[in-house]
Amino acid sequence: MPSISVVIPAKNEQGNIGKLIKEIHSSLQDYPHVEIVITDDGSTDQTVQEAIYTANECGCDLQVISHGKSYGQSTAVLTAVKHAKGEWIITSDADGQNDPSDMPSMLEAAAQVSNPHFCIAGFRAKRQDTAWIRFQSKVANKIRHALLGDGVPDSGCGLKIIPKATYLQLPYFDHMHRFLPALIKTIGGDIVIHQVKHRDREVGTSNYNAWNRAWVGIVDIFGVIWLQKRTKRPVVKTINSTYDNKDA
């Protein structure tokens, strides 16, 4: 099993982040090389202090990278990925709605993929959000699937597994985290859908609203379509080399 970095973008998640770290540590304690990497995206509460205290208490490896101000979820994830030491990245939201107990089965699914580029994408079949949020997501997912054809029923699920090398090949733009499967398919990667659990948020409120869930996403979809149409994956027919002749 490759080394693993659990990447978490966090903004004002005091009260959630400590419990989440404990659950990740418990779920992945049988894996030898695991770290947690948190990007503190301009928090004004005790998110960082709670994370460090909990990691010390659990004895788990933790990195916390703090942004000087909030740059948004996609930038926060990318910052964490760049600092991650693991070969495989597990992304998770910081609010505790993703259940870390799903991570081992997702890792088993990842181990079955032969393609070096892949995404194990979580699918929240039984979401614990309000009816309004579920309605927004349902409409947005239908529009995205119709236009992008990525085959993903739940693009907003934070739980995903992606090789670090794959992630760093993807083009960066704000809100890119919503389109990771489509972007990975563009570079020839495999997408595996994995059903996961979903829980109520216990503390605080979401940092995202109807505007950045729906309208901004529609603008981004056309940008991803532009990338899809302009990405070329050449098929190598033959490779000729003079190295063997020179050695002779």
Q: Where do the domains of the chain lie, and which CATH numbers do they carry?
A: 4-247 (3.90.550.10)
CB contact at 8 A, 223 and 140: no
pLDDT of residue 119: 97
Q: Give the pLDDT confidence score for residue 3 in this predicted structure.
A: 98
Phi and psi at residue 153, to the nearest 5°:
-80, -10
Model confidence pLDDT, tens digit, residues 12-26: 999 999 999 999 999
What are the tens digits of pLDDT across the range 82-115? 999 999 999 999 999 999 999 999 999 999 999 9
| Lateral strand order in the sheet of 118-124 | 61-66, 34-40, 4-10, 88-91, 160-163, 118-124, 190-196
Q: What is the pLDDT of residue 135?
A: 63
Q: Mean pLDDT of successive 10-residue segments in the chain (248 residues)?
A: 96 96 97 97 96 97 96 94 98 95 97 97 75 63 67 84 97 86 92 91 65 58 65 66 62
Instruction: Please list the residues that pair with 68 across neighbouring strands.
Output: none
